Amino acid sequence: MAVLEIRKYPDEVLKRKAAPVEGIDDDLLRLVDDMIETMYAAPGVGLAAPQVGVSIRLIVIDVSTREEKQPLIVLINPEIIEAEGFVELEEGCLSVPEYTAPVTRAERIKVRALDRNGAPVVIEGIDIFARALQHEIDHLDGVLFIDRLSSIKREFFKKRYRKALREIHAGA
């Protein structure tokens, strides 16, 4: 297993819709293991394959530090099939480090996917688990949480981000 590089905004791979996984093989399972190790090392509660530069529909999530009843999950080709309620909470992202903002998401969702063995699963998520599922599935569609902000907040983020990059490059 290896810790992979997490791609950061504005990397192009983060803006693309990821391709469906066509089959489960040793390479895919190695990527799953590497993504899990990378997520824990970051540390984060979820990671999508595009965040490590692989544009396929694969996510890993472990919110057990926040919700002990929910173990690590691996979802291949996940799709949201039900959503209800809305809640606004502060959200961040490993691909947009050191920035958080309130994002409105469904409070409860149901997702259909394949597990790491290729078996079909339907997962129901509420609260933080629902938020993590939606956040990671957004990555598969080329959507970052900052894309869900109002245009004013998004522009504020971009200005602040560009300034931080200039400061980093000036100090290098």
* Sheet of strand 58-61, all strands in order from the earlier edge strand to the far edge: 46-48, 58-61, 73-93, 96-114, 120-126
Helix (H) or strand (E) holding 45: none
Beta 73-93 vs 58-61: how paired, if at all? Answer: antiparallel
The full set of domains in the chain, from first to last, is: 12-171 (3.90.45.10)
Q: Is 136 designated active site?
A: yes
Farthest CA pair distance, the chain: 51
What's the predicted TM-score (pTM) here?
A: 0.92
157 vs 91: CA distance, rounded Å: 14
Can you give the pLDDT of all 172 residues of the chain as single tens digits? 899 999 999 999 999 999 999 999 999 999 999 999 999 999 999 999 999 999 999 999 999 876 556 789 999 999 999 999 999 999 999 999 888 999 999 999 999 999 999 999 999 999 999 999 999 999 999 999 999 998 998 898 888 888 877 777 776 5
**Pick the catalytic residue: 12, 68, 98, 136?**
136
Which phi and psi angles does 123 have, rounded to 5°?
A: -115, 135
